[in-house]
Amino acid sequence: MTDTDGRSAFDSGLTTPDFAACLSMGLQPVALVQGFYVGQLGAWSSYRANAVHTYPCPWGWRGTNEHPPPGWLGTQDAVDEAWATAFATAHQRMVQEAEGLGAHGVAGVQVEMGHPASEQSTEVHLYGTAVRLAGTAPGSLWTTRIAGHKLAKLVEAGYAPVSVLYARCTAAMYEGCYMEHYGSNMVPAGTALTPVQDVHNLARTRALQQAWQLAGGHSLYDVELSAHEGEGQTMYVTCQVLGSLVRRVRPTLPLATPVSTVALRD
């Protein structure tokens, strides 16, 4: 676009310090670009979960019609795959918009995810500032959540941004066999069950494992891990990992020898 004087103009989502730091690196902001995805998840339930472990009954009740199914721990793989597809689609649309502007990368990417209508709906919105390096032909476009001095220090340390990363795991735990359903008199003294801890650990462990698989040998930087818990007869814990993939492009430069400038004496 152009302003009233006919000069090239742009829009940007960078803060003033980040904007100044990008300019100092030779990165010229081009435009604010975005990618968007809205979709609908099919109906899902604990019966579609991938069972990981079945807890034993602490009371030894077996084969009775009154006894509910034993507690179990599992993952909602189909739901996680649907969210991963939504994120990848929104990210690709943002990249395509930036490529159409001749940009080399997208800095300061913001990620917004939610349920616009119900728990079965998905909404993913990515946006950031497309940047161009003057005098350089467009190549493989990179995206990163960082910008400004953090991006400058990353490059100074010998790394270059690759892409924004997203991974998640939704773990489910059925409480049918746990003491809170029957009262303390039904459980022998000293019985220790950790269903809530187990479902949280499973969600976090699987999400981080998936993130490392997606990294494909690159390093993870600026990682943000968040978990959401949903309660009911079946407890769901969703752990999400957001970060930036970076690759080493040169050895780290040696640090300068510190020079004493002030001497403190008694």
- How confident is the model over 204-232, as pLDDT tens digits? 999 999 999 999 989 999 999 999 888 66
What is the average per-residue pLDDT within 45-72? 63
pLDDT beyond 50 at 184: no
- Predicted pLDDT at 181: 46
What is the average per-residue pLDDT within 149-168? 92
pLDDT beyond 70 at 266: no
Specify if 255 maps to a domain.
Answer: no
What is the average per-residue pLDDT within 137-142? 83
- Give the separation between CA 77 and CA 80, rounded to whole angstroms: 5
Specify if 192 maps to a domain.
Answer: yes
Question: Given pLDDT bands bounded at 50, 70 and 90, which one contains residue 187?
Answer: low
62-66, 106-110, 204-208, 249-253: least confidently modelled range? 62-66
pLDDT beyond 60 at 96: yes
pLDDT beyond 70 at 178: no
Q: What is the CATH number of the domain that holds 143?
A: 3.30.110.70
- Predicted pLDDT at 11: 61
pLDDT beyond 70 at 79: yes
Specify if 33 maps to a domain.
Answer: yes
What is the average per-residue pLDDT within 40-57? 69
Specify if 8 maps to a domain.
Answer: no
Higher pLDDT, 93 or 5: 93
- Predicted pLDDT at 57: 62
Exposure of 168 in the CB half-sphere (CA atoms within 13 A): 24
- Predicted pLDDT at 193: 61
The total number of structural domains in the chain stands at 1
- Predicted pLDDT at 180: 46
Exposure of 56 in the CB half-sphere (CA atoms within 13 A): 5
Specify if 214 maps to a domain.
Answer: yes
Question: Given pLDDT bands bounded at 50, 70 and 90, which one contains residue 133?
Answer: confident
Collapse the DSSP code of 65 into the 3-class scheme (helix H, G, I; strand E, B; otherwise coil) and give the result. coil
Specify if 103 maps to a domain.
Answer: yes
Q: What percent of the chain has pLDDT over 90?
A: 41
Specify if 225 maps to a domain.
Answer: yes
Per DSSP, helices labelled H in 13-107 are 16-24, 77-100
CA geometry: angle 100, 106, 112, nearest 5 deg: 105
Provide the b/e sequence for 85-112 (b: ≥16 CB within 10 Å): ebbebbbebbbebbbeeebbbbbbbebe
Cβ partners under 8 Å of residue 115, min gap 6: 121, 122, 123
- Give the separation between CA 239 and CA 168, rounded to whole angstroms: 6
Contacts by residues 50-55 (CB-CB < 8 Å, ≥ 24 positions apart): 50/74, 50/75, 50/76, 50/77, 52/202, 53/198, 55/177, 55/193, 55/195
Q: By the 8 A CB rule, do 125 and 63 touch? A: no
What is the domain range of residue 30? 16-248
Q: What average pLDDT does the chain have?
A: 81
- Give the separation between CA 99 and CA 149, rounded to whole angstroms: 24
What is the average per-residue pLDDT within 140-160? 90
- Predicted pLDDT at 73: 84
What is the average per-residue pLDDT within 99-109? 93
Q: By the 8 A CB rule, do 128 and 108 touch? A: yes
The side-by-side arrangement of strands in the sheet containing 142-143 is 27-40, 121-133, 105-114, 142-143
Cβ partners under 8 Å of residue 224, min gap 6: 241, 242, 243
Specify if 175 maps to a domain.
Answer: yes
